[in-house]
């Protein structure tokens, strides 16, 4: 069984930043990621709020970060972590590893609408990534669900591709950057549908429409070919239930933002309980978690 100084679970911004700091401190480091590297940032078409990074896509950013990790010599394996013990034994779908310290940086995943047929229509009209799938809906009618930054950014991106973009939000106001909202409002092919929420998916092998319902329980049908869901995230902590302490929403608790309730098991990034989940805070979390782990396993 291979042994490492530090094992990092997750290859988003927090995880890969932790890998950089740990390796530069001459610690034998392993990053484990069951899916693609990058995390949620790969869904962002244009990063504008990270210092010194101006107009770079999330995919470009994640690729640059991954290449930096590999160039430093961090061991990176695409394996799904299935279990972690208090003795820091990590079991994946392929191997077992022993660590002196573990950093959990598993991030979040997209929240679903919960409507009948949603899962079967993914790739046939339903998407959670506008930058990944938007090009398939050129000159077609699409809808975006949500009222946060991701929904606004998705609608802006799609407005340059689609014939018509409906932005559907269950409230009157938005929880998004005001500048981005103003940009979206200037788009002539965007229609705002507020105080409404999705009610029923309409499909025949692929999505053809959506029924929405307002606060007065009035139902309206819109004809669309694509539906982009951007209603927030849920933490990837399913395997940690009963292991580390979680809050009511499933995020990992940490009194100081680094330590979990288990010795030498740390947390970083969007998966931890905190107020602000941004690219820059994920990078900060990764650096702090790695530095803390380094100092405590000397």
The residues assigned a catalytic role are: 129, 132-133
d(C-alpha 28, C-alpha 90), whole Å: 15
176 to 17, 85, 183, 253: CA distances (angstroms): 27, 40, 12, 26
Report the first-to-last Cα separation within the chain, whole angstroms: 22
Neighbours of 37 (CB within 10 A): 20
19 to 30, 134, 149: CA distances (angstroms): 8, 32, 28
Torsion sign (Cα): 113, 117, 119, 125: negative
CA 69 to chain centre: 20
Residue linked to tokens 């310290």: 101
d(C-alpha 265, C-alpha 287), whole Å: 15
């Amino acid at each position: 069984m291979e042994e490492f100084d530090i094992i990092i679970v997750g290859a988003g911004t927090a995880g890969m930043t932790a890998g950089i700091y740990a390796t530069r401190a001459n610690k034998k480091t392993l990053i484990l990621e069951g899916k693609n590297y990058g995390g949620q940032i790969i869904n962002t078409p244009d990063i504008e709020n990270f210092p010194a990074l101006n107009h770079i896509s999330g995919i470009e950013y994640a690729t640059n970060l991954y290449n930096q990790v590999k160039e430093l010599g961090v061991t990176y394996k695409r394996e799904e972590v299935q279990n972690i013990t208090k003795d820091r034994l990590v079991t994946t779908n392929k191997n077992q590893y022993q660590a002196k310290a573990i950093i959990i940086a598993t991030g979040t995943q997209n929240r679903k609408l919960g409507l009948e047929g949603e899962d079967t229509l993914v790739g046939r009209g339903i998407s959670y990534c506008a930058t990944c799938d938007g090009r398939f809906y050129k000159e077609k009618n699409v809808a975006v669900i949500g009222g946060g930054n991701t929904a606004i950014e998705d609608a802006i991106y799609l407005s340059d591709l689609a014939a018509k973009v409906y932005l559907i939000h269950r409230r009157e106001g938005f929880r998004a950057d005001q500048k981005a909202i103003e940009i979206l409002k200037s788009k002539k092919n965007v229609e705002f549908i507020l105080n409404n929420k999705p009610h029923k998916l309409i499909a025949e092998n692929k999505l053809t429409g959506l029924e929405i319902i307002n606060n007065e329980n009035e139902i309206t049908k819109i004809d669309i070919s694509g539906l982009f869901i951007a209603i927030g995230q849920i933490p990837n902590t399913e395997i940690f239930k009963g292991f580390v302490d979680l809050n009511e929403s499933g995020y990992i608790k940490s009194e100081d933002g680094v330590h979990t309730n288990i010795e030498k098991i740390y947390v970083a990034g969007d998966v931890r309980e905190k107020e602000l989940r941004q690219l820059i805070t994920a990078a900060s979390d990764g650096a702090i978690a790695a530095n803390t782990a380094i100092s405590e396993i000397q």
